[in-house]
């Protein structure tokens, strides 16, 4: 009875968070985000305007930055949120503070539950949360406003919170931090894979589930089977290894067109793995072929293997990384 009641409370809390997020994000912020009045919706901006003498403050507190990830989004989107807080903490000379994910399973899998600095600890030490406006990452005027807000609080114990739709394109800039958290986690000793260490394991993510009933997403995110046939062939041509090359196809749905993939030798269709195990297999693959998907892209950030990704995607790629190969719209390698 206690467990059931506790579960219901968690569901209600999560539902409240979703409703609050939707109301604030879509009915207030989205309507006013590109108007002159937007920054004035935030107390933190008013604080920087009304405290014009903050340059005379001699005391500097050690302050932090964090984010509440979008509770209604998938893990790919949530990691984009989380990564923005890591990066902007560094950019604004703050310390990143970990705020718990709605899904504890992801937090444990990624190694975030061992974070050194957690929100709860800071709150207990007297720090308070201050929300920052969304700012355009290349807009120097808006960035200057954010710096002034942060500076105006430098005599107080503050955790600055980004809005969870804060833009950050070059997500690969925090890849080493994600890798350190993931691979140093005690959880790694419990990882179980279907891969054989005797094989060179190629993971292919074909996004064909959530987007198939959404025409807008199909136009933006769908890659047809011919694209994957080309990328697999190109991948096989550059791999020099004595190991057997084993191809693993990961997809939420099995389309009729997948039959074309059976022409490849040593191919396995992996439709029975949950999202956590799928993500793990993406990370541990010797070569990962991603879709236009935040899910496989985030796994690629953590992966130590070769990554093959579509160039035409909003996520940024490290062009000087020899292990990250970009493809054209037809699947041909652009930097082979």
- CA–CA dist 164, 176 (Å, integer): 22
Helix 294-302 vs helix 75-91: crossing angle, to nearest 10: 50
For residue 184, the model assigns a pLDDT of 93
Break the chain into its structural domains and give their ranges. 39-188, 194-327
* Calpha distance 24→27 (Å, rounded): 6
Q: What is the mean pLDDT of residues 50-77?
A: 82
pLDDT on residue 24: 66
* pLDDT at residue 217 in the model: 54
- Residue 71 confidence class, pLDDT cut points 50, 70, 90: confident
Give dist(CA 84, CA 145) in Å, integer.
Answer: 18
Cα 309 to Cα 179: distance, rounded to the nearest angstrom? 19
pLDDT at 220: 57
pLDDT tens, residue by residue, 192-241:
999 999 999 999 999 876 655 555 555 556 688 899 999 999 999 999 99
- Per residue in 125-139, pLDDT (tens digit) is 999 999 999 999 999
For residue 140, give the H/E element and its range: helix 140-152
Whether the pLDDT of residue 257 is over 80: the answer is: no
Q: Give dist(CA 41, CA 85) in Å, integer.
A: 21
Given a contact cutoff of 8 angstroms between Cβ atoms, the answer to whether 331 and 234 are in contact is yes
Please give the mean pLDDT across all residues of the chain: 87
Q: How many residues in the chain? A: 336
Instruction: Report whether pLDDT(320) > 90.
Output: no
What does the alpha-carbon distance between residue 216 and residue 211 come to, in Å, rounded to a whole number? 8
Residue 291 three-state SS: coil
| pLDDT tens digits, one per residue of 49-62 | 998 765 555 567 79
pTM of the full predicted structure?
0.86
pLDDT: which is higher, 295 or 25? 295
Over residues 137-151, the mean pLDDT reads: 95
- Topology (CATH level 3) of domain 194-327: Rossmann fold (3.40.50)
């Amino acid at each position: 009875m206690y467990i059931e009641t506790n579960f219901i409370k968690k569901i209600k809390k999560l539902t409240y968070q979703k409703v609050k997020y939707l109301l604030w994000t879509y009915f207030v912020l989205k309507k006013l985000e590109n108007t002159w009045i937007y920054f004035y919706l935030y107390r933190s901006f008013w604080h920087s305007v009304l405290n014009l003498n903050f340059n005379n403050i001699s005391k500097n507190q050690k302050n932090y930055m964090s984010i509440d990830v979008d509770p209604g989004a998938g893990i790919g989107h949530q990691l984009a949120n989380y990564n923005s807080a890591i990066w902007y903490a560094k950019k604004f000379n703050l310390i990143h503070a970990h705020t718990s994910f709605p899904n504890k399973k992801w937090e444990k899998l990624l190694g975030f539950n061992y974070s050194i600095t957690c929100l709860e600890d800071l709150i207990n030490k007297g720090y308070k949360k201050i929300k920052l406006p969304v700012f355009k990452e290349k807009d120097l005027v808006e960035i200057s406003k954010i710096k002034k807000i942060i500076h105006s609080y430098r005599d107080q114990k503050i955790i600055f919170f980004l809005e969870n739709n804060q833009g950050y394109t070059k997500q690969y800039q925090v890849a080493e931090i994600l890798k350190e958290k993931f691979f140093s986690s005690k959880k790694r000793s419990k990882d179980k894979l279907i891969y054989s260490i005797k094989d060179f394991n190629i993971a292919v993510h074909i996004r064909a589930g959530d987007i198939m009933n959404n025409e807008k997403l199909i136009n933006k995110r769908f890659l047809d089977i011919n694209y994957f046939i080309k990328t697999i062939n190109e991948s096989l041509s550059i791999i020099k290894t004595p190991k057997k090359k084993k191809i693993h196809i990961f997809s939420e749905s099995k389309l009729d067109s997948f039959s074309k993939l059976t022409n490849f030798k040593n191919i396995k269709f992996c439709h029975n793995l949950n999202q956590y195990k799928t993500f793990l297999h993406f990370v541990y693959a010797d070569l990962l072929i991603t879709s236009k998907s935040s899910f496989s892209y985030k796994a690629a950030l953590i992966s130590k293997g070769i990554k093959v990704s579509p160039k035409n995607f909003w996520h940024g790629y490290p062009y000087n990384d020899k292990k990250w190969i970009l493809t054209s719209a037809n699947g041909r390698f652009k930097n082979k």
